[in-house]
Structure 1
Amino acid sequence: MTILRADALTLGYGRSTVVHDVSLAITEGGVGLIGESGSGKTTLARAFLGLLRPRQGTIWYGGQDLRKADMRAFRRDVQPVFQAESLNPRRSVAASIAEALTDKTRVGDLLQQVGLDPSLAARRPHELSGGQRQRVVIARALAVGPRLLILDEPTSALDVTVQAKVLDLLAGLATERLLITHNLAVVDRLCRTSHVLFAGRVVESGPTGELLENPAHPYTLALRDAVPKLGGTPPEPGISAPPAGTGCAFRLRCPLAVPECERAPELRQVGEGRVAACHRAEAVLAGNNDGGGSLGRHG
């Protein structure tokens, strides 16, 4: 079942275009948006939340253009989960959660749902740990009974132990999720399908496990191999993408670049349920299967 769908979406701010011609669907089982800072993940999430109007293309919600949809129903169905710092420091936990509730007595139940003691309701954010604050943010989003949570780096400020507890909580929720992250372990845990963004374009999509185990795009491979490991070599500093319309945006950083990469690649099928925008996708897949170089999975 598709909850939200983007068709040929182009997004930007002022004179800058940030997301170029992106099409994807948010379906059951969790969907991940993976990419480094500046890749367009959060901009795309803002559009899915109805906070940014497309320059081109359409976002579909319930079979209807989101711009014409019943926004009260949309706000009930689709809720954001931001980082813990989004809580108002002057408001108590109860006030933050109860904002969207008609029955204020449900605050305690929502706190229990996210694994917190209801007695914390009277506290303010500075009196809670980072993990507790993140759970409060999740409880606030669950208050209206949404069908979909849009999560923007929900564990980035947490230590590993607390991250694991928050991931356990999210994995146990019946609500669907769109997860924006650069953390491959998180997306591997929570998302059945993932899309990799670079310079505002989807460069690879497919089932998350297959995509991380056997990347078909050099950028996906670079993200995976940049995961810190004992004895590893730090990744090289990033290089800015070339101007739009001048070939593959990743070619200045790509070890497999050839003259053909001066021509922008189209997304094409490279396996069942897999697409990649790379002229050399078959070479990347072959390198993975051969187990050569740095193509083994880390993380």
Structure 2
Amino acid sequence: MTVLRAERVTLGYGKRPVVHDLSLDITEGGVGLIGESGSGKTTLARAFLGLLAPMSGNIWYGDQTLKKADMRTFRKDVQPVFQAEALDPRMRVGASVAEGLPRSARSRVTELLEQVGLDPALATRRPHQLSGGQRQRVVIARALAVGPRLLILDEPTSALDVTVQARILDLLAALDTERLLITHNLAVVERLCRTSHVLFAGRVVESGPTGDLLARPAHPYTRALRDAVPKLGGAPPEARGRTEAVPAATGCSFRLRCPLAVAECERAPALRDVRGRQVACHRAEDVLAT
């Protein structure tokens, strides 16, 4: 079942497009948005939250566009989970969690803190008195307070150490709530998302089942992201192609960095079916063969 859908959406700031003619669905089982900084992940998340209006195209919530949807229901159904620094340092934990609840339901704060694995006694503390992992759990408790259908998580574990990350991932995996996860951490998206979309320069370059996509990438950019992950006990990863090159203005946007680029890449590739996934690459079959 699709919760949110982007239909040929172009997004930008001022007159400068950042995301280009993009279409994707947020479906059951968790959806990941993967890409380096500047790829358009957070911009797309802002549009899905109704915080940024498309320059063209539509964001659909059920059978209505966000322009026509009941925003009170939408705000309840779709909740963001930002990084822990999003907490107001002046508010106590209990007040932060209860902020979105009616007065008659504020007794649920204890239940919500317990749900995310926190001692309810922490409700009287302020954010600076908590560890990074505890603050991130408070952010999740705030989002869960209104009973959302979908959580939009923007790098929810990026500032946490490895052991705390593991506890947060266990918590998110156990929640009975759909999720859109924005991350550059491939291990996190593999754990939490059934389907993933890889963004480069504001365009989807590969989409498909997360396990298949990461095990055998069909786009050179996806492969570069995977190969850049350090392995314990192994040699440091080596970059392929020109990692400093900016996206190309014409043709395939990745071609100036791609080690497999050929003359045909001067023509922009369309997303096409390649062995059970969607890939925007003229040489996808060659990538899979290597």
Normalization by structure 1: what TM-score? 0.94
Q: How many residues align?
A: 284
- Kindly report which structure 2 residues correspond to 1:187-202, keeping only aligned pairs within 5 A, or say none: 187-202=189-204
1:116 aligns with 2:118: yes
Q: Partner residue of 1:242?
A: 248
1:252 pairs with one of 249, 256, 275 = 256
Find the residue that maps to 1:155 and give its secondary structure. coil
- Kindly report which structure 2 residues correspond to 1:43-82, keeping only aligned pairs within 5 A, or say none: 43-82=43-82
Find the residue that maps to 1:252 and give its secondary structure. coil
User: Partners of 1:233 and 1:174 in 2: how far apart?
Assistant: 37
User: Partners of 2:161 and 2:203 in 1: how far apart?
Assistant: 31
CA deviation after TM superposition for structure 1 residue 15, in Å: 2.2
CA deviation after TM superposition for structure 1 residue 238, in Å: 2.9
Find the residue that maps to 2:3 and give its secondary structure. strand
1:261 aligns with 2:270: no
Find the residue that maps to 1:75 and give its secondary structure. helix
Find the residue that maps to 2:58 and give its secondary structure. strand
User: Partners of 2:68 and 2:101 in 1: how far apart?
Assistant: 26
- Kindly report which structure 2 residues correspond to 1:144-163, keeping only aligned pairs within 5 A, or say none: 144-163=146-165
Amino acid at match of 1:242: A
In the TM superposition, structure 1's runs of 4+ consecutive aligned residues that sit over 6 Å from their partners are none
User: Partners of 2:38 and 2:195 in 1: how far apart?
Assistant: 21
1:281 aligns with 2:284: yes
What's the CA shift string for 1:12-34, capped at 9, x where partnerless?
00121100011000000000000
1:139 aligns with 2:141: yes
Find the residue that maps to 1:67 and give its secondary structure. coil
Find the residue that maps to 1:170 and give its secondary structure. helix
Tell me how large the CA RMSD over aligned residues is: 0.8
User: Partners of 1:240 and 1:217 in 2: how far apart?
Assistant: 18
Find the residue that maps to 2:67 and give its secondary structure. helix
Amino acid at match of 2:285: E
1:221 aligns with 2:227: no
User: Partners of 1:37 and 1:110 in 2: how far apart?
Assistant: 33
CA deviation after TM superposition for structure 1 residue 237, in Å: 3.9
Identical amino acids, percent of aligned pairs: 76
Q: Partner residue of 2:171?
A: 169
Contact 1:228 1:234 in 2 (8 A): no
User: Partners of 1:26 and 1:234 in 2: how far apart?
Assistant: 34
Q: Partner residue of 1:210?
A: 212
Unaligned ranges ≥5, structure 2 = none
Find the residue that maps to 1:253 and give its secondary structure. coil
CA deviation after TM superposition for structure 1 residue 117, in Å: 0.4
What's the CA shift string for 1:243-299, capped at 9, x where partnerless?
2xx100000110000000000000000012x01000000000111xxxxxxxxxxxx
User: Partners of 1:200 and 1:154 in 2: how far apart?
Assistant: 21
User: Partners of 1:110 and 1:210 in 2: how far apart?
Assistant: 35
Contact 2:229 2:237 in 1 (8 A): no
